[in-house]
Structure 1
Amino acid sequence: MSSEEISLRLFSLVKHTFSKEISNKQVDRIRWHLYPEIRITHALDKPESSAKPISVLRTPNIIKIMDTQQELLARSLGEGHRIIHGVAGSGKTLILLYRCLHLAKDNNLKKPILVVCYNIMLAQKLKSLIKSHQLMVPVEITNFHAWCYKQAKIKNILPNSKQNFIENLEQAVITGFQNKTIAAEQYSAVLIDEGHDFKQDWLKILSGMVDSETNHLLFLYDDAQSIYQKKSSLDFTLSSVGIKAQGRTTILDINYRNTQQILHFATSIAFDYLNDHIEDNFKYHKPDAGGLQGQVPNMLVFDNHQQEIIHIIKWLKQQHHTGVSWNDMAILCPSTAHLSAILVKELRDSKIPHYFIASSEDKKRYSPQSDFLSIIPLPSSKGLEFHSVAVIDSSNIMGNSDNLSDEIKRLYVGFTRATNNLLVTLHQKNVLSRHLTSTYNQIYNNA
């Protein structure tokens, strides 16, 4: 039957007719209500807090759901290796969760499912999202180095010295895998988030962890957010590490997380600093805006750090007064080690509940549902999102001032954590501050 004949047959079954057709936006609203699993924000729903909830039952002006391409992709991922290259805010992690839950209901899988990322806090977030679901297959959610530690401990090959422990741990696991001390094919499926932050040897191990009978591997990637490795990320072909997905790569280039104003600001700041890649499929794709219209991000220059902090505290109080819960706000900074004690004092004096993240243990204890303002280093914020974000000390150059690529990438990650409101403050005067302020002025005609 032709599509026209099928349509006529379907329409003949409808007893009532309507004078007007529904619009695409109305269709999306219907999908938003019928299929909660495809909501971009569904996985981040938060419990009631001390603040009045925002839009708990009210749908937003633009429905933030997977588009039909994403929904089809999430529902139709079959066996074999798959790659998803998605820009920040495109729903990569949501697709990963959807895929994980789908596989975890398959009684035919005899081995656990491994979900692995680089960032400790993202792993904590993924655990919190999975734990409420009933699963038929065990799911192990971890960051890569925690997984290495577990594997090495089981085989009694942990490094003896704490000096250079992480590097020695990596090498112990690599060697253990190569000499078959650590067994291959331990998992029915391996799902890799933040794939751009993984080294070549790591991916060789993880691809070898997939059961050859099931062969489920999902690799998610966005090179614009590669901020951990010193060299350019993925400067090798994926086929060289055992990921065989030629012809099975999907690019998601629509950002749904951020307002159009935040996305435009972030991409304008970062565009010239984002690296090309060896494979065409993985070169940087400037995201298309699919988000809400919103307020223009605010950038303010102060004379010192203390002035930054005082203004941010005032801004946070204003956000909370409008109904934003504390756990939907964050202060992001190049490094929490560089934040002065005045920040903690101001937060305490203002009676703002907060969680200060300075160590690996702090990251492991992070709970997205707890109603606390989070103070997070920029690299650790990857994979998270908040209604309102303040990026403090944004012109702090942590590395080489002759090459700002790493600093810009960290800022890009931080800026794109904000779904609605973004405040950027700085006080240090340097080449980075000049780039930030001149770009901001060019965008908003304030020069």
Structure 2
Amino acid sequence: MTVDELGRIVDAARCRVFGWEDAGNEPHRQALAEVIRSTKSEEATILCEPSLTRSTTRPPDIVLVCPHRGVAVIEVKGFGLDEISSIDPGGGFVLHYAGGARGRNPFHQVRNAMFDIKDAAQRVHEGQLTIPFRYFVALPCIRRSAWMAKWGASAPIPKELIFQDDLSRLSPALLHNGMKRLGSLGREAWPAADLAALKCAFGDTSVLFPVPEERAPRRAREATLGEMFDEAAESYKVLSDEQQKLSAQFWENGPRIVRGVAGSGKTIVLANNLARRVQRLERGHALFSEASAGLKILVVCFNRTLVPFVEKKIATSYLQRTGATLPNGVVHVMAFNRLMWHLADKGVWRYQKVFEKGKNDRDRAAQYQADLSYVKKNDTPTFDAHAYDAIYCDEGQDFLEEEFKLLSQLVRRDQSEPSLFVFYDDAQNLYGRTRPNWQSLGLNVVGQRSHIMTECFRNTRQIVEVAFNVLYGSFAENKSKIPTRAFGDVSSLLEKGLLTERDGYKQVHFARREGSRPIANVAPSEEAENQYVLQRLRWLVKEQEVRPEDILVLGFKKERIERLAAFLRGKTENGLPEIHVAFKEKDDILGQRHRLTLSTVASAKGYDAYCVLLVSAQDFKVDVDSRATFYVACTRAIEHLEVSTCGQPSGLFAEFQQAINRV
């Protein structure tokens, strides 16, 4: 059973299948294929090596979840009959190894895995689980008749032992027994609450809305924002089908493009996909072979403050899947300018200063390409020592076309097509970059190499809808200064029914979660606005018991944030927490425990917080770049958004007010 053959079986399956690419050997694929083919139920889900949110043990090989069959946990063992020297009544095997015989009991392993799943589901269930759990050990390389011929008809065969010829009958038998048991209880299916709890237990979930440290346990007063945010943070969150499928894909050859609306989970997919990639290479011993001892995967973003955030997501995802820390030196996360400096230090090219007089970003990229071409031609040992096996690019809308070309040339020379994987959202284009012509760059991203993520999970509908209407100037006086429909691929959203227009107002359908309306405030002066922000922070922290790390204060200009930080630092004796100014401490993650983060919008891009206060909205212009920046600022808010301005309401703030009245 090859990977391609299994892929065709998955494509034809009637049930839902996740993670099948992780079936790392032929016996595993063979067992998985038989379970898939014999499960002819659209409501059933089959998971291959699924992770648990709070488990650091090895995941089971196959898990079948069905509202009629219940839960079946299957451990696959690929050894042949000749490799077993003896058996015992408890289900243990003694196997021949190169170093001698060794006993193994896979029944203990799969039983523990089953109880791990059951315990994880029970933790999030408000009542008691009633759905039945079963476990099995599958031997796809051994037929039942051969087993009995070797050990005799009286040899113990645990009822949980499944042979090659039993695999196709397992799922139908589970269905028969499940329906019989349901009938005896007067039910048609196992409770939806049980299935929901199981769904919460699975998936690469610990990287969803992560915090840099674990949240200290506490009990906030009921009906406060603090309680609401705590419940949201502590509850289990589950990857969507789309996120799971993208996370599980193994991009072996050629580039990939993943576009998505704000809050769709692009960075989550990046982290999970990369962690799985490293895990697969480990499973194949690639990390320890001489040929791949120098394995290097690069993750690059434009924003330096985003680096520790992305590093945290990747490390969390890998730890959850494997129970181990990332191998040293395999994954390198760098801001783009830091990458340029790093490779200059290694002799790959000459460093080009960002603000060098007479040079723009395109000039610098061209000079880097010229230097790189010279090194690849005349000093291949230097290039080969620092080339990458794969490059993941987060927040790709920040990069120039020439910079993508440069990145594509940093992969190893033996790649027929560069392993460059780009994640981006046109609507968050702060720097006014035009979308690259991928074909002109020599990057083939047509067909299944390009994917669009169209559902927002981060923000409430009210927040996204208001911000979206400001972005596209639904209430703009000058329509010449608004983005075209191609800017954020509005036409695609309209065609898919994810966006509708009525009297010029855009109603968003790609964010399902409902919440409260954003709040707009007008202050007569900056001093008055400072006092307003102080009042709101005290209200949030003291009266609403919101954790400081759940609040993000944003502004357009550094100077404004610096003045506000100085003002607030003078008030910390009145109960305000320590102030963290993001662009002053660029290598520190935002949202640290017990610290209140102030930042420019640009430095906070890629982050989010349950509560966002956006100050001095009058600093935003009414051009396309400023609209994109305003959109990014608003969509950092998960649940609660407040925007304030100084002086007479005008510009984007006035549009924001009108959008609030329509949402």
TM-score tier, shorter chain, comes to 0.7 to 0.9
Structure 2 partner of 1:264: 465
Structure 1's 427 and 367: CA in aligned 2 closer, same or farther, altered over 3 A? closer
Structure 1 partner of 2:307: 123
Structure 1 partner of 2:201: 33
Structure 1's 160 and 88: CA in aligned 2 closer, same or farther, altered over 3 A? closer
Aligned-residue Cα RMSD (Å) equals: 3.4
The answer for unaligned runs of 5 or more in structure 2 is: 1-36, 42-167, 221-226, 320-324, 377-381, 474-481, 500-507
Structure 1 residue 206 displacement after superposition: 1.2
* Aligned match for 1:220, one of 409, 423, 427: 423
Structure 1's 214 and 44: CA in aligned 2 closer, same or farther, altered over 3 A? farther
Structure 1 residue 354 displacement after superposition: 1.1
Structure 2 partner of 1:308: 529
Please tell me whether residue 12 in structure 1 is matched to residue 190 in structure 2: no
Aligned runs of 1:50-199 on 2, under 5 Å?
58=231, 64-80=237-253, 81-105=255-279, 106-107=281-282, 108=286, 110=292, 111-131=295-315, 133=319, 134-136=325-327, 138-155=330-347, 157-159=350-352, 163-164=356-357, 167=361, 170-180=365-375, 183=383, 186-199=387-400
Structure 1's 264 and 29: CA in aligned 2 closer, same or farther, altered over 3 A? farther
What SS does the aligned partner of 1:330 have?
A: strand
Contact 1:297 1:421 in 2 (8 A): yes
Structure 1's 10 and 233: CA in aligned 2 closer, same or farther, altered over 3 A? farther
Deviations 1:190-226 (A, max 9, x none): 1111111111111112122233179543211100001
The answer for unaligned runs of 5 or more in structure 1 is: none
Structure 1 residue 30 displacement after superposition: 2.4
Structure 1's 55 and 21: CA in aligned 2 closer, same or farther, altered over 3 A? farther
* 2-structure distance, mates of 1:393, 1:173: 39
Aligned pairs, number: 433
Structure 2 partner of 1:295: 516
* 1-structure distance, mates of 2:217, 2:526: 29
Contact 2:38 2:172 in 1 (8 A): no
Structure 1 stretch displaced more, 193-202 or 273-282? 273-282
Please tell me whether residue 352 in structure 1 is matched to residue 572 in structure 2: no
Structure 1 residue 335 displacement after superposition: 1.1
Structure 2 partner of 1:426: 645
Structure 1's 183 and 13: CA in aligned 2 closer, same or farther, altered over 3 A? farther
* Aligned match for 2:659, one of 415, 436, 439: 439
Structure 1's 26 and 76: CA in aligned 2 closer, same or farther, altered over 3 A? farther
Structure 1 residue 270 displacement after superposition: 1.4
Structure 1 residue 148 displacement after superposition: 0.7
* 2-structure distance, mates of 1:62, 1:161: 43
Structure 1's 406 and 25: CA in aligned 2 closer, same or farther, altered over 3 A? farther
Contact 1:392 1:424 in 2 (8 A): yes
Contact 1:386 1:418 in 2 (8 A): yes
Task: Look up the equivalent residue of 1:374 and give its one-letter code.
Answer: T
Structure 1's 277 and 324: CA in aligned 2 closer, same or farther, altered over 3 A? same
Structure 1's 56 and 339: CA in aligned 2 closer, same or farther, altered over 3 A? closer
* 2-structure distance, mates of 1:157, 1:382: 29
Task: Look up the equivalent residue of 1:135 and give its one-letter code.
Answer: L
Is the radius of gyration larger for structure 1 or structure 2?
A: 2
Deviations 1:140-160 (A, max 9, x none): 001111101111122162358
* 2-structure distance, mates of 1:344, 1:77: 49
What SS does the aligned partner of 1:238 have?
A: coil
Structure 2 partner of 1:341: 563
Task: Look up the equivalent residue of 2:631 and give its one-letter code.
Answer: Y
* 2-structure distance, mates of 1:421, 1:281: 25
Aligned residues: percent identity?
20
Q: Which structure's relative contact order is higher, taking Cα pairs within 8 Å and 6+ residues apart?
A: 1
Contact 1:237 1:278 in 2 (8 A): no
Task: Look up the equivalent residue of 1:68 and give its one-letter code.
Answer: D
Please tell me whether residue 243 in structure 1 is matched to residue 418 in structure 2: no
Structure 1 partner of 2:608: 385
* 2-structure distance, mates of 1:394, 1:23: 49
* 1-structure distance, mates of 2:264, 2:492: 16
Deviations 1:82-127 (A, max 9, x none): 2111110001000000011112221326221101111111112112
